[in-house]
A and B are shown apart, each in its own frame.
Chain A
Amino acid sequence: MSTTAQSASSSLASGSATSHGSENHLAPELQLRIHELMLKARVLEERLITMYRQGDGYFWIGGPGEEAFNVPLGLLADKGTGLQHDYLHLHYRSSATLLALGADPVDALRQMKNTATDPYSRGRNFAGHYSARKWNVAPVSSPIEVQYSIAPGTAMAQRAVGSKGITIVTGGDAGSAEGDFATCLVWSSRKGHELPILILVTNNQYGISTPWDGQHGEARVSDRGKAFGMPTATVDGNDVETSWAALKKAMDYVRTERKPYLLEAMVSRLNGHSSASGANFVTTEVDCLARFEKKLEERKLRTRSEMDDMRARFTEELLEASKRVREEPQPKPESIWDYVFADKNYVAGES
C-alpha cells in the first residue's frame, strides 16, 4: 500500500512541483501558529550562525530549510515522559521540532555558547544536539545514523506494554546509506513483531559536499520501505500543508496499526552543511518560510509588515538573550567527571 506521492527528483526541492496541500488548508490559527514557530526557528538558526561568526561558539550545524516539515512534526507528536507518549530520535537539524514541542530558544543559545547552564549537555556538545527526557527526546548525537538502530528499541518497549505512543526517528538522505538505516527497516518489520515506528528521512540531497544523485541508485529513499511491506511516501517537505498532511496520515497509521511507516520529505539545506562550509544562505533552493509567508499573505492571514515586525522582534529578543548568555558561566574544568556513571535508574522513574 505504497502512497508514494511524488518523484524524489530535485525538482521537488527546487519547488517546481505542484504543492499538494493548497486545496487542503489548515485552520487559520494553526497556520499562524506554524508560521510563528517556523519564523522563530529560522531566526534562532540565524542567531546561532551569528554567534558562531562572532566567536560565541565553535561550530554551527542546524536545520534552516527543514522548518516546514519539522514544525508540524513537533506539533503532531504526543509530547510527554515515558512509554505512554511518543519517543523522538532526532538529528542535528531538528531545532524547529524542539521549538514546536515548547523548547526555550535561549537554551539553544546556551548550548552554542557551551555554558554550564546549557540544559542539553552542560557545555559538552555542539549546537543542535538536543536532549529532553521530559519530552522523550533522546539525545541527538553527531554520528548521522545511529538513531535508526536505537529507535526500534523504544518502539519495542512501547509494543511490549501496549502503549498508545509511537516512536519517531529522523535522519538525512546521506546517512540512509549507513547500515543502521537497513537495521531500522529490518527490525521494524519482523513478521509478527512489527513496531509502531515512524521512520522519517529529510532528503536535502547532499551529504556535506557530495550530491545525492552520484551516490544513490534508488529513485527514492522511501522505495526501500516497500521491500519490507511498509507503507511509504515521498513528499514535498518545503510545503507546510503537504508536510502536515503526510505526517498526520503516517502517524495515524502507525498509531492505529502499530506498524512501521517510511516517510521521506524533500527539503532544502538553506545554509549549507554547517559552519564548516560557511553557513551562508543559498538562494538556489526553495525557502519554505518565504513560500509559506507568501501563502499567508495571499490568504490574508498575515500582512508582510506584520511578518517583518515579528521577525524584527524575535531577532531583537534573541540578540538580547545572546548577550545575557554570554555572561553565563562556562562549565568548571572539574565538571568533566560529572555524569560518568549514574547512581539511580532515572529512565525507570527513580529520582
Chain B
Amino acid sequence: MATMIQAIRMALHVGEERLGVTDIFGEDVGPPLGGVFTGTQSLKTAWNTPLDERGVIGMAIGLALAGRRPVAEIQFCDYAFNTIDLLKIAGNTYWASAGDWNVPMVMMTPVGAGIRGSIYHSHSFDAQATRTPGWKIVMPSNPRDAYGLMLSAIVDPNPVMFLKPKALLRVKALPGEEIPGEPGDLKTLSKMIDAPIGEARNKWKPEWPKLEELYIPIGKARTAREGRDVTVLTYGRNVPMAVAAADELASSEKIEVEVIDLRSLHPYDWDAIKASVKKTHRVLCVNEDTEVTNFGEHLIRRVVEELFYELYAPPKLLAGAHIPGIGLSDNLEQASVPQKEGIKNALRELARHEP
C-alpha cells in the first residue's frame, strides 16, 4: 500500500530497469536528497542539475532528440513559468518539422495547494499545461494511477507532462489502489525503499519489490464514485475531496454524486464525460487553478455545446480564486482553492436545481 510518492519512485525504477529510461534529473533530484519529496531516491539514473529550469527542459528536449528517454523534474510548477517557450518547443517540434523529429520526454512537476506552500509552492499548472498543444497531460489522484500513468508516460513517443498533486504525495493508497508486486504493508515497503535519514543513508541500498508493469492508458478517465444525481469532473487533489463530499451528501441528504477522475487532461476522455452527463444531467467541474480561462471552463463549454439538451441545470465551475497568489495562513489558503464544504454546497445547489 504505497503512498503516491513511493508509487512514482517505483514507476521510475521500473522505467530505468526495463523501459529504457536513461536520465532522471532536475534540481536536487539525484543523491543525496533524491527529490524534495523523495520521489527520485535511490534511482540509478538520477542526477542533479544546476538551478536552471530552462536548462532542465532544454536538456530533456536535447536528450529526447538524441533518442534517449529523459524524465525531467521541475521542482515546483511555480518555477516552470520561465520554461514556457521551451515547453512550447517540446510540444511543437514534431508538428513544426512535419513528423521529422518526435520528442519522447516526460516532464514531472508537483502542483497545487494543500501543503501550506504560500505564494510560490501552491500554484496549479493545469490551465497552462492544457494550453500547450503537442503535450499529453496526466494527473493522478492515487498511487496506483500514479504508477500506471508514469509507465504510460515513459513509453509514449511524445512529450508527456506528469502533474503531481503535492497534497496527495504522502497519502496512503486505499484498498483497490495497490500496485502489482508491492508488499501489502506500508511499513514493509517503507523499510525496503525509503532511504534512512542522516549518515546511514550513504551505505544504504534499496530492496526493490518485484513490481509488475501496469499501464493506465493516457486518455482514459476513471469513475471514482458512481452516482445518478450530479457529475463531478475533476482530477488530482480534488478527486478524494469530491468523493468525501459525495459520501457525506449521500448519507445526509440522499444525493448520489458521480465523480469522474479525468486522470488525463489531454487527451481527455470525452466518452466517459458524455456518458456520465447523460446519466446525471448535472455537471460540476472542480479544480484548483485560477478560474479565468480555466480548463473546467473548456469542459463546460463543450458540455453546453454538445450536450445542451441533456442538462437539467447550468453547469458550474468551482476553481481557484482569480487572485495573484495563495496566501500562507490557513484561512487564506482555504479561501483561495476549493474545499470539501464548498464542493458540497455546489453539489447540493445543482442537485436541487429544477429546470
Contacts and interface: CB of A to CB of B under 8 A. Distances in A.
Interface string A147-180: 0111111111110100000010000000000011
Contacts, number: 159
A133 B63 contact: no
B136 A347 contact: no
Interface in B47-84: 49-50, 52, 54-55, 57-70
B97 interface: yes
Interface stretch (A58-66, A117-125, A279-287): A117-125
B58 A146 contact: yes
Contact of A139 (B85, B86, B97): B97
A185 to B, nearest CB: 10
Given A83-B67, A157-B66, A342-B158, A348 B60 contact: no
B62 A153 contact: yes
B67 A187 contact: no
Given A139-B97, A149-B86, A156-B62, A179 B54 contact: yes
Given A160-B22, A183-B58, A347 B52 contact: no
Contact of A344 (B54, B64, B157): B157
Interface bracket on B: 35 or more
Interface string A32-71: 0000000000000000000000000000000000000000
B253 interface: no
B66 A154 contact: yes
Contact of A157 (B67, B85, B96): B67
A82 B68 CA distance: 11
B38 to A, nearest CB: 24
Contacts of B59: 149-150, 152-153, 156, 187
Given A87-B66, A153-B63, A143 B101 contact: no
A148 B102 CA distance: 19
Residue of B68, B86, B97, B134 most packed against chain A (CB within 10 A): B97
* Pairs of residues from A and B, 10 with the lowest C-beta to C-beta distance, nearest first: A153-B62, A149-B58, A157-B66, A342-B102, A122-B98, A131-B97, A345-B157, A348-B67, A183-B55, A139-B97
A119 B50 CA distance: 37
A268 to B, nearest CB: 29
Interface of A: 82-83, 87, 118-122, 124-125, 129, 131-133, 138-139, 141, 143, 146, 148-158, 160, 167, 179-180, 183, 186-187, 190, 338-350
B240 interface: no
Contacts of A118: 98
B89 A150 contact: yes
A80 to B, nearest CB: 13
Nearest to A342: B102
Contact of A339 (B50, B58, B98): B98
Interface string B91-115: 0011111111111100000000000
Contact of A133 (B50, B52, B101): B101
A139 B100 contact: yes
Given A124-B96, A133-B100, A343 B157 contact: yes
A180 B58 contact: yes
Contact of B157 (A138, A143, A167, A342): A342
Nearest to A149: B58
